[in-house]
A and B are shown apart, each in its own frame.
Chain A
Amino acid sequence: MIGKTAPESVPTGTAPVPRRQGASPPPGASRRTARPVGVKRSSRLVLNGVLALTALYFLLPVWWLLVSSTKTNSGLFGSNGFWFAGLHLVENVKDVFSFGGGLYGRWILNSAIYSGLSGIGATVLGSACGYALAKFEFRGRGVVFGFIMSGVLVPSSLLTVPLYLMFSKIHLVDTYWAVIIPSVVSPFAVYLSRVYAQDAIPDTVLEAARIDGAGELRIFTKIVVPMMRPALVTVFLFSFVAAWNNFFLALVMLSNQKLYPITLGLYQWFTQKDQTTYNVVITGSLLSVLPLVIAFLALGRFWRAGLSAGSVKG
């Protein structure tokens, strides 16, 4: 079915489409010979072949972006999309930063501010709440948790437009806060912190600290936070990326170009429909993705930690 929807239909089996591929797919077919358990060599070859083709489907657009950001605008139209045609990356990067009055740098900075503050805010608020829900017994605990969790199922588009109307009444629209405040409220952060605190923080430790006369705030910052660190990193990462990726919220809340995050800025350049600036949009897209891809590659295990928490107990 993917052949129908994807223009790059995955070639099956016998007739591979000749195609340049710079980013070679991860080692696919069996290098070492059979393991003790009985899996036929042929089926292993087929399996790894299919995986390699799937990897191509995921990688080629990224590769195209990489290659295209080194081309001049006319080069984009005249050359093989999957291979280089002259190296103009430096010129393109300069163009990106000077285009439209040099807003690009500002947008990147805005995105960093939005994502950084959202990530920190979501982590602090979510971990404190999740920890309290896990470790304190109080009336209505289950109700509060269920209430917060129902937030996961609410379509965000339902919230954003009325939020805009509310914020415009209190003059928050078109400010940094309009984007940051909604982004620090993450039910997922509460959920993950609660699950993690339940498992990782023994009651005995907390009780001992109380006997020693430590205040609750001190217990939280000195004992709980260090013990929850892996969960906190995961929460920060997810909140940061969610804020970096956010488009709808910014589109609704912001009209001042100087406050745009990078996603909204690139979208605006794109909608100018100017065929002579494709190279600017393409190179700008690549640059905007780099910090995320690096963070994602470096912190892979925290991603998986967050996802497995979602799958096992969700």
Chain B
Amino acid sequence: MSALTRRTTGPERAPRRTAVKRQRGVVALFVGPFLALFLLVFAAPIVYSAIQSLYAERASGPLGLGGITSRFVGFANFSTVLHSGDYWHGMARVFLFGIVQVPFMLCAALALALALDSIAARGVAAFRTVFFLPYAIPGVVAALLWSYLYLPQISPYTKLLGVIGLHPDLLGPGLVLWSIANITTWTYTGYNMLIILSSLKTIPQELFEAARIDGASEWQIAWRIKVPAVRRALVLAGVLSIIGTLQLFTEPTVLQGISFGVSSTYTPTMYAFTAAFSNSDSGVASAGSIVVALLAGVLSVVYYRFTMRKADA
């Protein structure tokens, strides 16, 4: 390769035209396969579900064996979804979850990142690994694991709580949402911390030294220099967390196995799943999914605008 690079230092540069000529085919070769699959897996389902959401499918004949007939119903499926108490309850749950769990997790992640980035912390590499470890555990397994840890018969935690006189029903309808929040917090805090931490590492060290010489405390440095510098990373983590929260599925679905507090329409995504597979109603399932997706988009934009403007002011 050194032979190749040496050539370019010569006076005459590569004749661009040759590259341009064969470019089209090359671009098609490199970009084509990904783009084709992207269209199949991302674009087509969106279009398909948009169409599906306008149709009602009905099994005809005895026992539905006469095949499925499809009928255009306009926005009737959306109307069904938006008038469904189950759907709105699920939505309300996910909102409550989102306004409590997401800020809490991001604050914890930010605090941990700042702590590990401060000069006073020891064993940074070990802590970083431990905090990130839960992310390496699949969501289903994390949910299974915590399910057992919520079961009063075998959980060491409920035993400990019992010792100090607390007997919370962690799987009951009142608390199970927060039990789920604990699972996602446990899984994703370290991941978000790592995103923030790597963003902190890009701040030039001279900035801190200058601030210290000017007599700034470590607190001031953290608050005035570091936090503003990781704003973008925080916004990104926030957007992804909002999208993740709206799609909440795995954890409540697993907890459903042991908790009466979780219904089959507990979250909007579970609602869509139940509509599609238990009720074979692809129209309602599609409409439900689209409403979630639109909300995710709107919320992400609002969140982005809000946090960015506040930071500029």
Q: Do A and B come from one complex?
A: yes
Interface: A12 (CB within 8 A): no
Asked if residues B48 and A208 are in contact (CB atoms below 8 Å), the reply is no
Q: Which of B22, B158, B191, B272 contacts A7 (CB 8 A)?
A: B158
Interface: A176 (CB within 8 A): no
User: Chain A 19-61, CB within 8 Å of chain B: the 1/0 string?
Assistant: 1000001111111100101010001100110110011011101
Q: Which residues of chain B are near A19, meaning CB under 8 Å?
A: 160
Q: Which residues of chain B are near A161, meaning CB under 8 Å?
A: 49, 272-273, 276, 282, 285-286, 289
Residues 24-76 of B at the A interface (beta carbon under 8 Å):
24, 26-27, 29-31, 33-35, 37-38, 40-42, 44-46, 48-49, 52
Q: Which residues of chain B are near A184, meaning CB under 8 Å?
A: 37
Asked if residues A43 and B178 are in contact (CB atoms below 8 Å), the reply is no
User: Chain B 119-151, CB within 8 Å of chain A: the 1/0 string?
Assistant: 111110011011111111111110011111110
Q: Which of A128, A182, A207 contacts B34 (CB 8 A)?
A: A128
Give bound CA distance, A127 to B140, whole Å. Answer: 29
Interface: A248 (CB within 8 A): yes
Q: Which residues of chain A are near B112, meaning CB under 8 Å?
A: 51, 54
Asked if residues B122 and A158 are in contact (CB atoms below 8 Å), the reply is no
Q: Which residues of chain A are near B181, meaning CB under 8 Å?
A: 5
Interface: B13 (CB within 8 A): yes
Q: Which of B48, B119, B132 contacts A165 (CB 8 A)?
A: B48
Asked if residues B273 and A129 are in contact (CB atoms below 8 Å), the reply is no
Interface: B313 (CB within 8 A): no
Asked if residues A289 and B1 are in contact (CB atoms below 8 Å), the reply is no
Asked if residues A155 and B246 are in contact (CB atoms below 8 Å), the reply is yes
Asked if residues B129 and A64 are in contact (CB atoms below 8 Å), the reply is no
Q: Which of A43, A132, A288 contacts B27 (CB 8 A)?
A: A132
Interface: B311 (CB within 8 A): no
Interface: A116 (CB within 8 A): no
Give bound CA distance, A292 to B137, whole Å. Answer: 7
Asked if residues A4 and B289 are in contact (CB atoms below 8 Å), the reply is no
Q: Which of A7, A27, A164, A220 contacts B168 (CB 8 A)?
A: A7
Identity of the chain B residue whose Cβ is nearest the Cβ of A46 in the assembled complex: B120
Give bound CA distance, A153 to B294, whole Å. Answer: 11
Once A50-B115, A158-B293 are accepted as A-B contacts, the answer to whether A55 and B26 lie under 8 Å apart by CB is no
Give bound CA distance, A121 to B98, whole Å. Answer: 34
Interface: B223 (CB within 8 A): no
Asked if residues A266 and B150 are in contact (CB atoms below 8 Å), the reply is no
Asked if residues B49 and A158 are in contact (CB atoms below 8 Å), the reply is yes
Interface: A157 (CB within 8 A): yes
Q: Which of B7, B31, B46, B198 contacts A211 (CB 8 A)?
A: B7
Asked if residues B14 and A312 are in contact (CB atoms below 8 Å), the reply is no
Q: Which residues of chain B are near A158, meaning CB under 8 Å?
A: 45-46, 49, 289-290, 292-293
Asked if residues B145 and A81 are in contact (CB atoms below 8 Å), the reply is no
Give bound CA distance, A217 to B27, whole Å. Answer: 11
Asked if residues B156 and A204 are in contact (CB atoms below 8 Å), the reply is no
Asked if residues A4 and B178 are in contact (CB atoms below 8 Å), the reply is yes
Main secondary structure of the interface of A (DSSP, over half): helix
Instruction: Give the contact-size bracket for chain A.
Output: 35 or more
User: Chain B 154-173, CB within 8 Å of chain A: the 1/0 string?
Assistant: 11111111000000101000
Interface: B233 (CB within 8 A): yes
Asked if residues A157 and B272 are in contact (CB atoms below 8 Å), the reply is yes
Give bound CA distance, A165 to B70, whole Å. Answer: 14
Asked if residues A48 and B122 are in contact (CB atoms below 8 Å), the reply is yes
Asked if residues A263 and B145 are in contact (CB atoms below 8 Å), the reply is no
CB distance from A196 to the nearest CB of B (A): 15
Give bound CA distance, A81 to B155, whole Å. Answer: 7
Q: Which residues of chain A are near B198, meaning CB under 8 Å?
A: 304, 307-308, 311-312
Residues 1-15 of B at the A interface (beta carbon under 8 Å):
1, 3-8, 13-14
Asked if residues A310 and B236 are in contact (CB atoms below 8 Å), the reply is yes
CB distance from B127 to the nearest CB of A (A): 5
Asked if residues A37 and B119 are in contact (CB atoms below 8 Å), the reply is yes
Give bound CA distance, A223 to B19, whole Å. Answer: 16
CB distance from A169 to the nearest CB of B (A): 10
Asked if residues A216 and B26 are in contact (CB atoms below 8 Å), the reply is yes
Give bound CA distance, A37 to B25, whole Å. Answer: 59
User: Chain B 249-283, CB within 8 Å of chain A: the 1/0 string?
Assistant: 11001100110000000000100110011000010
Chain B residues within 8 Å of A, Cβ to Cβ: 1, 3-8, 13-14, 18-19, 22-24, 26-27, 29-31, 33-35, 37-38, 40-42, 44-46, 48-49, 52, 100-101, 104, 108, 112, 115-116, 118-123, 126-127, 129-141, 144-150, 153-161, 168, 170, 178-179, 181-182, 185-186, 189-191, 194-196, 198-199, 201-202, 212, 218, 230, 232-233, 236, 239, 243, 246-247, 249-250, 253-254, 257-258, 269, 272-273, 276-277, 282, 285-286, 289-290, 292-293, 296-297, 300
22 A-B residue pairs with CB within 8 Å: A27-B123, A32-B122, A55-B130, A61-B134, A77-B153, A81-B156, A131-B30, A132-B31, A136-B23, A154-B42, A157-B292, A208-B4, A208-B14, A210-B19, A247-B138, A248-B249, A267-B254, A270-B254, A292-B138, A307-B191, A311-B233, A312-B233
Chain A residues within 8 Å of B, Cβ to Cβ: 1-2, 4-8, 17, 19, 25-32, 35, 37, 39, 43-44, 47-48, 50-51, 54-55, 57-59, 61-62, 64-65, 68, 76-77, 80-82, 125-126, 128-129, 131-133, 136-138, 144, 148, 151, 153-166, 181-182, 184-185, 187, 190, 204-205, 207-212, 216-217, 220, 223, 241, 244-245, 247-248, 252, 263-264, 266-267, 270-271, 273, 278, 281-282, 285, 288-289, 292-293, 295-297, 300, 303-304, 307-308, 310-312, 314
The 3 closest A-B pairs by CB, nearest first: A81-B156, A26-B126, A308-B198
Identify 11 new A-B residue pairs, CB closer than 8 A, beyond the known A17-B160, A132-B27: A7-B182, A8-B157, A39-B120, A55-B127, A57-B186, A137-B23, A159-B46, A217-B29, A307-B194, A312-B199, A312-B233
